[in-house]
Amino acid sequence: MLVPVVTLIVWIGVYPAAFTGKTETTVEALIAQVEAKTGMNR
């Protein structure tokens, strides 16, 4: 029963881009909005 969970954990550790790549554009847009409102720059 734990084999699928462990497999998923290992997969995320080895190839995280499959999970983080889908949200990268959204996160960048959110960061840009926050920086624009607070006047912060990277």
Per-residue pLDDT of the chain (42 residues; tens, 9 = 90+): 899 999 999 999 999 988 888 888 899 999 999 999 998 766
Please provide the DSSP assignment of 1-42 as one string.
--HHHHHHHHHHHH-THHHHTTTHHHHHHHHHHHHHHHT---
pLDDT at 7: 96
- Between CA 26 and CA 28 the distance in angstroms is 5
pLDDT at 10: 95
pLDDT at 29: 94
pLDDT at 41: 67
pLDDT at 40: 74
